[in-house]
Amino acid sequence: MAFWLDIADFALKAALIVIALGALVAFVALIAGRMRGGDAEGPRLTVRSLDERYDAMTDAINARLLDKKALKARAKARRREAKAAEKSGARVGQKRIFVLDFKGDLRARAVRRLAAEIDAVLAVARPQTDEVAIKIESPGGTVTGYGLAAAEVMRLTGRKVKVTACVDQVAASGGYLMACAADRILAAPFALVGSIGVVAQVPNLHRLLKRNDIDYEEITAGEYKRSVSVLGEITPQGREHFRGKLDATHEAFKRFVQERRPGLDIAKVGDGDVWLASEALGLGLVDALATSDEFLFSARGEARLYEIAAAQRKSLAQQLFGGFGGEARAMWDRVSTGFGGTGE
């Protein structure tokens, strides 16, 4: 018995030492951040010219294919073209396409970065001249998260900046709601779109508690303060009220899609089903079949292409302890009400 007590005592002391060291590291990181005067929570914006990337790819291939004489002639021709364009001022008024990338999870956590990127674009974009291409990849998620994402996209259209939503793999449910906020939707032939529906997943443990003689009391004020509960009993009245809320959200979803895409037969596609983009084109859910790379590559020469990305700065403490509670958040995601996805 004494042996096990010694082991437990050692384990407790080791745990206390680890916690103390972690707290010390977090404290030092906090002080260092304040001394730098920076905002550890603020986004870090990066801007990359896609034209330069395409040019670098072309130069790398030509370096292998062409001889020295041809390479010199090509470089000379490019310098002449650049000088002529600069002299004529052609590039001054040339269209610019700003490329944003949205990879959405169930809670649409990427919306914060999206908002920062849209802020940056709106600071420089020229209405009715420049364009934004948003690459969307999302199977759907919470109503509030994707409703906010759609509202952020509409900040651009509200300022007369054209928006193209590009779907390479999936933009279903909340992801499709977000895509509908754009002026047009391009999708790869085998991308999944649609799923105009709402789902709520709520596990209920009331019978398990009752079977084990465990009392659970949930005291609320207001008849419908909590009509559905994880631990409390779900009554027929509460269930019906909750279903009414889902139906109202579904109607709002369909109404938004119909307003953004007036030619769509919402009665035909608003049943929560999902389609391949090749099928969705005939239904009016997308405007054309094309990958995001195809769209951007074809825009070369007619527009200058810039990729805008906002990365969230993380403090040292967040990097060390940010993974804690991840499983709990994932569980909460699955019991939250949201725009129903593809079921994947």
CA–CA distance, 27 with 14 (Å, rounded to integer): 20
CA dist., res. 89 & res. 71, Å (int): 27
Decide if 208 is inside a domain.
no
What's the CA gap between 243 and 222, in Å, rounded?
18
User: In this structure, is residue 344 part of a structural domain?
Assistant: no
Classify each residue of 110-135 as buried b or exposed e, where b means 16 or more C-beta atoms within 10 Å of its C-beta. bbebbbbbbebbbeebeeeebbbbbb
Given a contact cutoff of 8 angstroms between Cβ atoms, the answer to whether 339 and 146 are in contact is yes
Pairwise CA distance, residues 194 & 189, whole Å: 14
What's the number of domains the chain is made of? 1
Cα–Cα distance, 332 to 326 (Å, whole number): 10
- What are the pLDDT digits (tens) for 137-155? 999 999 999 999 999 999 9
Contact residues for 151 (Cβ-Cβ < 8 A; gap 6+): 181
Q: Let me know if residue 191 belongs to a domain.
A: yes
pLDDT per residue over 282-329, tens digit each? 999 999 999 999 999 999 889 999 999 998 655 544 454 454 444 444
Task: Indicate if the pLDDT at residue 66 is higher than 80.
Answer: no
Give the catalytic positions in this structure.
173, 225
The predicted pLDDT at position 65 comes to 80
Alpha carbon separation from 249 to 64, 73, 256 (Å, rounded): 58, 63, 11
145 near 174, Cβ under 8 Å?
A: yes
Examine residue 210 and state whether it is found in any structural domain, yes or no. no
Flag whether 172 is in a domain.
yes
> CA–CA separation, 23 vs 344, rounded Å?
39
The answer to the question of residue 250 being in a domain is no
Lowest mean pLDDT among 31-45, 69-83, 130-144, 284-298: 31-45
Range of the domain at 129: 43-196+266-339
CATH number, residue 311: 3.90.226.10
Over residues 90-97, mean pLDDT: 76
Residue 26 domain-assigned (yes or no): no
pLDDT over 90 for what percent of the chain? 49
Q: pLDDT digit string (tens) for 144-196?
A: 999 999 999 999 999 999 999 999 999 999 999 999 999 999 999 999 999 99
Residue 236 lies in a domain: no
